[in-house]
A and B are shown apart, each in its own frame.
Chain A
């Protein structure tokens, strides 16, 4: 029988803490079929813009469509790669420079699937999920971020 993956909550308010990442790793110790985890963390970079240095990104999303897009990406990744489990978290609201806004965590019996799935998922998120980011610069300026 096909395994059904229930929609999961992806969005978190504000930055994703390193403590949360550590706890997520720890919670997989009982899943002993896993031989490889791959983790991708997106961190806010202090880019130099015309209005000054980026101090943080204020994220918004077209949430309902975004949740569906995340769900579709999850399903596609489970179909393509030999994965035991998968977790995706993305920030909404303000994430200051140097903090984490994206946490992709995939686990597999073997490393190859974990490496490949994590890259696939991150690229899909950047291209297909309606998330918008206002890069804050200086006192009151901002530039809208655009994925390339």
Chain B
């Protein structure tokens, strides 16, 4: 659902210095305002992290919409 908003399934994100997960989330919402009313978690190198955690670059970051397995 987030890929539908962005129009792509992955992209290269230029950090321009160190940032936290929360700062990254803010940048994503700036670029894609339609994601503001979507719920998603952020996984860095396949681990879901809280907003205060710093992202060590380079990193694989994933936006994870609500899970629907089962």
Contacts and interface: CB of A to CB of B under 8 A. Distances in A.
Answer yes or no: are A and B bound together in one complex. yes
Given A65-B62, A144-B1, A132 B46 contact: no
A147 B69 contact: yes
B69 A126 contact: yes
Contacts of B67: 126-132, 146-147
Given A64-B46, A65-B46, A68-B46, A144 B66 contact: yes
Interface string A28-51: 000000000000001000000000
B1 A125 contact: no
Interface string B37-70: 0000001001000000000000000101111111
A62 interface: yes
A74 interface: no
Contacts of B69: 59, 61, 90, 102, 125-126, 129, 131, 133, 147
A144 B62 CA distance: 18
Q: Is the interface of B mostly helix, strand, loop or mixed?
A: loop
B68 A101 contact: no
A147 to B, nearest CB: 5
B4 to A, nearest CB: 9
B46 A146 contact: no
A13 to B, nearest CB: 16
A47 to B, nearest CB: 13
Given A64-B46, A130-B43, A144-B1, A125 B70 contact: yes
A146 B66 contact: yes
A126 B46 CA distance: 17
A130 B70 contact: no
Closest 6 pairs (CB-CB, A-B): A133-B68, A131-B69, A145-B68, A146-B66, A65-B46, A126-B70
10 contacts: A59-B69, A101-B70, A122-B70, A130-B43, A130-B67, A131-B69, A131-B70, A132-B1, A144-B65, A146-B67
